[in-house]
């Protein structure tokens, strides 16, 4: 009887480090195979910098095949066409299949631009920072915009679940426009489904409401909350502002010369609409051990998993999954697979703490929620120039981790140490 095969589906932030850590935890007791649709890893948190040319795409990317080969982890960039959970088989885009013993799903999301007419970079009228290629195209669009400046609309649409990058990009745009000495020619408005500024899909963390309202106000960025984007046409975004009772209280036709709106997410087609595996949006259902209750040989982590919202809101607002939280899911899955191979039931749980560094180019906001969903043991936020320095440091740390195939989970520890040091400096 051969060694069990563990297949990791996805090689983004979660899938790449999951492959490293699972291999390190199990060593020669199992084979690990990673299936991706690209042989390039991109550090997605740096995409807002790419979109204003503070980074070139190549600076935040890693060519994966040599690293995986060095770590003796199988790798293919053919991509997955369809999961056949009942057969424990992953069908690939080239017609071949992989039969697995255990599957770890870390695909990230499909970007649901098509749910709003005119949204997105593919035939739509707004740019995106969700993928590095999108951010690079956005940089070209921003350079063209700077030659003929006008209004900017930035934010997120209904159902979005990752608000930190939207706030980051709004502030980064403000910083870059001031550097180019054209900020006075650019009215800016922030559009979001959140019920209030700083909600973040988490019902706020610490004083994020006041901190982010103050940042927007100081930078002369107006905002619309409880916003539902109905359609986008060239140079105009149509938005409904919804009241607490769910009724439309005002409509806005917002002109723009440049716009970036984060879309809603859904599960990728390869794993969607499998009974017992996914919810109606295609996100993977997991228990507290990151394991699917219906298919116990399947684990999942990261943006592709189902997390219920923190509470009802007039406009749908999703819950984010931060990089720190994802790394804790990776560690839990690695430990649980080791227990399973030892003939035991899995007992490890992810911490699900939300720790975020939102960089604004000349400062930023940091927050920590432990656990992510209220009520919390820790509910902290702070702002200052140190956040920008910290974000640059984390970029370097994480890219080193991916390039070297490092398995040790240090992301959350370093963040806690950094924030702890900031608290000491202020006391």
* pLDDT per residue as tens digits for the range 28-62: 999 999 999 999 999 999 999 999 999 999 999 99
Burial class (CB in 10 A: 0-12, 13-18, 19+), 172: buried
Strands (E) in 70-140, as ranges, are 74-76, 80-84, 89-92, 97-99, 102-105, 110-111
**Cβ–Cβ under 8 Å, residues 300 and 279:** no
Q: What's the pLDDT at 147? A: 98
User: What does the pLDDT look like over 340-398, one tens digit per residue?
Assistant: 999 999 999 998 777 778 888 888 888 777 766 677 777 778 888 888 888 898 899 88
DSSP tag of 109? P
Catalytic center residues:
162, 356
pTM for this model (two decimals): 0.94
**Cβ–Cβ under 8 Å, residues 154 and 142:** no
Q: What's the pLDDT at 424? A: 47
Distances, alpha carbon 186 to alpha carbons 213, 239, 257, 259, in Å: 19, 20, 9, 12
**Cβ–Cβ under 8 Å, residues 97 and 270:** no
Q: Are strands 298-300 and 102-105 parallel, antiparallel or unpaired?
A: parallel
User: For the chain, which residues score pLDDT lower than 50?
Assistant: 424-425, 427
């Amino acid at each position: 009887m051969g060694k069990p095969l563990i297949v990791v589906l996805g090689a983004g932030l979660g899938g790449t480090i999951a492959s490293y850590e699972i291999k390190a935890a199990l060593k020669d007791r199992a084979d690990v195979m990673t299936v991706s649709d690209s042989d390039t890893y991109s550090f997605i948190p740096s995409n807002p910098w790419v979109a204003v040319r503070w980074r070139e795409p190549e600076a935040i990317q890693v060519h994966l095949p040599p690293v995986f080969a060095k770590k003796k982890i199988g790798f293919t960039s053919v991509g997955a066409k369809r999961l056949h959970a009942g057969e424990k088989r992953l069908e690939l885009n080239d017609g071949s299949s992989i039969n697995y013993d255990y599957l770890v799903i870390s695909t990230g999301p499909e970007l649901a631009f098509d749910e709003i007419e005119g949204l997105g970079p593919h035939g739509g009228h707004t740019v995106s920072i969700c993928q590095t290629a999108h951010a690079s195209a956005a940089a070209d669009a921003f350079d063209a915009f700077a030659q003929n400046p006008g209004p900017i609309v930035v934010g997120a649409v209904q159902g979005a679940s990752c608000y930190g990058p939207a706030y980051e990009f709004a502030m980064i745009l403000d910083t870059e426009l001031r550097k180019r000495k054209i900020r006075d020619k650019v009215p800016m408005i922030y559009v979001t489904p959140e019920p209030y500024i700083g909600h973040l899909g988490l019902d706020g963390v610490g004083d994020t409401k006041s901190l982010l309202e103050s940042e927007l106000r100081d930078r002369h960025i107006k905002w619309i909350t409880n916003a539902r984007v109905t359609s986008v046409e060239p140079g105009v975004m149509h938005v409904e502002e919804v009241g607490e009772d769910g009724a439309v209280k005002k409509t806005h036709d917002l002109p723009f010369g440049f716009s970036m709106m984060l879309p809603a997410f859904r599960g990728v087609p390869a794993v969607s609409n499998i009974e017992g595996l996914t919810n109606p949006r295609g996100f993977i259902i997991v228990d507290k051990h990151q394991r699917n209750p219906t298919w116990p040989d399947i684990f999942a982590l990261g943006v592709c998993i189902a997390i219920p919202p923190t509470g009802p809101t007039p406009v749908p607002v999703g819950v984010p999954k931060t990089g720190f939280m994802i790394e804790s899911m990776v560690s839990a899955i690695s430990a649980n697979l080791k227990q399973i191979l030892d003939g035991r039931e899995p007992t490890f749980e992810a911490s699900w703490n939300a720790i975020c560094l939102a960089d604004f180019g000349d400062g930023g906001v940091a927050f920590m929620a432990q656990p992510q969903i209220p009520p919390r043991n820790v509910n902290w936020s702070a702002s200052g120039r140190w956040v920008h320095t910290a974000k640059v440091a984390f970029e370097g740390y994480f890219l080193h981790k991916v390039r070297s195939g490092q398995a040790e989970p240090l992301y959350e520890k370093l963040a806690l140490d950094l924030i702890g040091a900031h608290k000491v400096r202020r006391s």
